[in-house]
Amino acid sequence: EYDHLEGGLYVDRLDARRHRKLLREAGRTRWGKAAGL
């Protein structure tokens, strides 16, 4: 798993999609940044 991804360094598109989904959900919940998502 990843702690921080910068510059769009993803293993594959599926991971990128999953990570974007996590970012979106984390953005909705205020603690997203604290969780490192």
Amino acid at 16: A
Do the beta carbons of residue 32 and residue 26 sit within 8 Å?
yes
Q: What is the pLDDT of residue 34?
A: 65
Which residues in 1-34 are b (16+ Cβ under 10 Å) and which e?
Answer: eeeeeeeeeeeeeeeeeebeeeeeebeeeeeeee
The pair of structure tokens assigned to 36 is 């490192």
Give me the pLDDT at residue 21, please.
Answer: 85
Supply the pTM of this predicted model. Answer: 0.36
Per-residue pLDDT of 4-35, as tens digits, reads: 555 555 556 667 788 788 878 777 776 655 66
